Amino acid sequence: MNHRLWTMDQIPLAMQFTATQIALMISGRLEGNAAATVASFGKIEEANEGQLSFLANPKYEDYLYSTKASVVIINDTLELKQTVEATLIRVPDAYTAFATLLTKYQQLVTQQLTGIQQPSYIDSSATIGEQVFVAAFVYIGEKVSIGNNVKLFPGVVLGNGAKVGDNCILQAGVKIYNDCVLGKNVTIHAGTVIGSDGFGYAPQADGTYHKVPQIGNVVIEDFVEIGANTTIDRATMGSTIIRTGVKLDNLIQIAHNVEVGVNTVVAAQTGISGSTKIGKNVMVGGQVGTAGHISIADGSKIAGQSGITKSLREPNRSWNGTPAMDFSNYLRVQAMTRNLPDLEKRVKELEKLVEQLLAERVNA
């Protein structure tokens, strides 16, 4: 994956590391000074001595030969065109290796946070594990269960009966409604709401709507990450379920009784209507919308801004457009659409030719 992702600029490390130590952490192969030390991260085009950087996108290769970084992580397959001053660590995938280091750094920082800040409210019936951090202005309701090494940042609300598994991180302002369940190693970013009422109303004869009580919950399994300001509605009955390994972007709406399959990823501003069942390893682009009560097959790839109006039953296919169609068909339709002006001109010419032939036949 040739992306450059930076969550912080020139991120400070908790301590100094040698190139040898870093190579061991990411199973890399060293080229250069094994004793080179780094104490922070830096972009390859801006890094200074004592910083660690990486190169995954070929567009930035020129910076490798001029960077001041002490250590740079690169792909195994990269063939050098010039001499490089920095110590190099070769790995199969530099982007993934750098992400691994950032994860280790983040874990190191968050693990240092423990204790309960005040003011905060914790009901006496709640159970809290070890090495937990509760920031100021957190609310923990009745019979809440919190596992070990959980981090709750300011403004988090855990409703009555909510369960939070080990190693979860809930950023500022996350709201978990009553009876919702989070597995282990779940990260939820600021402002997200889990378990708000599903959109259920029964139309009445007089034109009004009667609210249908939403008495289910939301279950989020292990190793899920959910972006900021995303909303996941509780089920009318039963559970809305986010399976293990799912990654949800910011500003996503997931309606009641939806099920999102294992290791599925969904980009921002997508809306998934009620009772939709999404399979495993599905990739959904930004601003996709789905109708309710449909299913999406395993391995489906749905391009951004597509509209899914019916079930996609064939696995491992790509879809695009509104209503969505097979991606190869979509490309043909797009090509034909671009040619419509020329086709119109040719049709008019053919019509004139036919008229001429008919006139000649009549006059013959």
- Amino acid letter, residue 2: N
Report angle CA 38, 60, 74 to the nearest 5 degrees: 50
Cα dihedral: 294, 253, 244, 213 (round 10)? -80
Dihedral sign, Cα of residue 348, residue 354, residue 358, residue 361: positive
**Strand partners of residue 220:** 182, 242
Alpha-carbon distance of 176 to 179, in angstroms, equals 8
Could you tell me if 103 and 140 are in contact, meaning their C-beta atoms sit under 8 angstroms apart? no
Catalytic residue check, 256:
yes
Nearest to 264 by CA among 235, 287, 284: 284
The number of helix segments (H) and strand segments (E) in the chain equals: 5, 39
Tokens describing residue 274: 């009620």
Angle separating helix axes 327-338 and 340-363, nearest 10 degrees:
60
Q: Pick the catalytic residue: 189, 210, 256, 293?
A: 256
Q: In terms of C-beta density within 10 A (0-12 exposed, 13-18 middle, 19 or more buried), how is residue 222 classed?
A: middle
Distance between start and end Cα atoms, the chain:
70
Alpha-carbon distance of 38 to 70, in angstroms, equals 7
* Residues assigned a catalytic role: 256
